[in-house]
Amino acid sequence: MTFEGVFAHRIFNGHIGGVYLEFPLVGTTDRSVTLGNLVQDFSSVFFTSSLKLKLNVPVVAPFVSVGGGFAHFSPGSPPPGAPTRSSSTQGAFQAGGGLDLSTPIPHLALRGEIREFFTGKRDFTPSRHNLFVGGGLVLHF
């Protein structure tokens, strides 16, 4: 299961769109990676300050986001006989996009998005890509 929270602040407002400074925080409680016969569980947290370009169109507001920050990986307990792994924190680059759908309720929207976090290679998995696809609620203040 993955959780995400994003704080965004508009820094430029044009008639057709705006530029936002956003701070997404994404955390995954438990993931598994299989290397041969070895299965390694780990959790991860991503924090990547980003710039977001969002179009101001009625009903559907598409956006793209690009930024950088860090990722923290914590391995779970290794299987019997496997070597112990240590936690690691490293740089991360994030690129993503999605859309916000207006609702009849003021200050509330629905969001669908995809973000990919590119990181350095962890010592317990060969992948540098971390794809997040999700949806949720947006509160406008």
**Lowest mean pLDDT, pick from 55-59, 62-66, 99-103, 133-137:** 55-59
> What's the pTM value of the predicted model, to 2 decimals?
0.84
pLDDT(116) > 90: yes
pLDDT tens track for 71-90: 998 887 766 666 667 788 88
**Adjacent-strand bridge partners of 119:** 92
Could you give the CA distance from residue 60 to residue 106 in angstroms, rounded to a whole number? Answer: 15
> pLDDT tens digit string along 47-75?
999 999 999 888 999 999 999 999 998 88
Fold observed for domain 2-139? Porin (2.40.160)
pLDDT over 90 for what percent of the chain?
60
Least confident of 5-9, 25-29, 85-89, 108-112: 85-89
The pLDDT, as a whole number, for residue 83 is 66
Distant-in-sequence, close-in-space partners of 37: CB < 8 Å, separation ≥ 6: none
How is the chain split into domains, by residue range? 2-139
Burial 52-84 (b: 16+ CB within 10 A, else e): bbbeeeeeebebebebebebbbebeeeeeeeee
Higher pLDDT, 38 or 4: 4
pLDDT of res. 26 = 95
Per residue in 20-37, pLDDT tens? 999 999 998 877 766 667
